[in-house]
Amino acid sequence: MKMEREQFLRMYVWDEASSTWKLKSGVEPSQPLKSPAEIKAEREAFLSRHRWNDEEGAWKPVNGPSRPTSTLTTEQRRAETARFMSTHRWDERNQTWVERKAMERE
């Protein structure tokens, strides 16, 4: 954590005028960071291709074509999103969703 903080401080400076962190001039991020919209889109893509199986306690691929998540009810969408968030975490370093280990979930 300390190393990540130091790396962040080498790359960014606090801008008082806008009250946000700004990338220092002449510094390029080590890898392109995904926007919150891109992160959400990846989560939605996963949910369209997988379904939670309560009996096995695991995500299972959907048979056939991806299911449109827009057809889910609000309750179904919330439940699946909550389940996904409890079984996956966003890995900042690799810019991807990573499945949590069973011990992490408990």
Least confidently predicted of 26-30, 76-80, 83-87? 26-30
Give CA–CA dist 44/77, Å, rounded.
Answer: 10
**Segment 16-34, tens digit of pLDDT:** 888 888 888 877 766 667 8
Least confidently predicted of 6-10, 14-18, 57-61? 6-10
Asked whether the predicted pLDDT for residue 80 surpasses 60, the reply is: yes
Give CA–CA dist 12/21, Å, rounded.
Answer: 6
| Tokens representing residue 37 in the block | 């919209």
Residues with Cβ < 8 Å from 87, sequence gap 6 or more?
59, 99, 100, 105
